[in-house]
A and B are shown apart, each in its own frame.
Chain A
Amino acid sequence: MIWMCPDDATLSAHYDEELDAATTASVSAHVAGCDRCQGVVSSFALLSGSLQVPSLPVGRSSVIESKRHVAARAILLGPTTSWGRSLSVPLPIAAAAAAIILIFAGLLLNIGRRSTTSARVDSGGSVLDSIVQYLDARTPASPVVFNLPESATFRVVSEPVFVRAAEYRQEGE
Chain B
Amino acid sequence: MDYLRDKSFTVRIAIRLLDGDELIVWNVEHTEVTVAGRALNVRLVGDDIVIDAFIAPFGSVETNFMLVAYGQLWVTNGPEEGVRYESFMKSLPVESGERVIFFPLGVAVDSETNIFTIELEIQLLPHSNEVRK
Q: Which residues of A contact B (CB under 8 A)?
A: 127, 130-131, 134, 138, 140-166, 168, 172
Contacts and interface: CB of A to CB of B under 8 A. Distances in A.
A155 B101 contact: no
Which interface residue of B75, B92, B107 has the most chain A CB atoms within 10 A?
B107
Nearest to B3: A127
Given A149-B25, A164-B94, 20 more contacts: A140-B40, A144-B41, A146-B42, A146-B44, A147-B45, A150-B47, A151-B47, A154-B48, A154-B116, A155-B75, A155-B108, A155-B113, A156-B84, A161-B90, A162-B92, A162-B102, A163-B101, A164-B101, A165-B101, A166-B98
B130 to A, nearest CB: 17
A160 B43 CA distance: 16
Interface of B: 1, 4, 15, 17, 22, 25-26, 28, 30, 32, 34, 38-49, 52, 54, 69, 73, 75, 77, 84, 86, 88, 90-92, 94, 98-110, 113-116, 118, 121
Given A160-B88, A160-B104, A162-B69, A143 B75 contact: no
Contacts of B77: 153, 155
Contact of B1 (A131, A148, A154): A131
Contact of A146 (B43, B73, B98): B43
A143 B77 CA distance: 25
Nearest to A160: B88
A146 B16 CA distance: 11
Which 10 pairs from chain A and chain B are nearest by CB? A158-B106, A148-B46, A162-B90, A143-B41, A165-B99, A143-B43, A161-B103, A157-B106, A160-B88, A145-B43
B92 A149 contact: no
Contacts of A138: 34, 38
Contacts of B34: 138
B115 A154 contact: yes
27 contacts: A130-B1, A131-B4, A134-B1, A140-B38, A140-B39, A144-B30, A144-B42, A145-B44, A146-B30, A146-B43, A147-B46, A148-B44, A150-B47, A152-B17, A152-B47, A153-B114, A156-B105, A160-B102, A161-B90, A161-B103, A161-B107, A162-B100, A164-B100, A165-B98, A165-B121, A166-B98, A168-B101
A157 B116 CA distance: 10
A140 B99 CA distance: 23
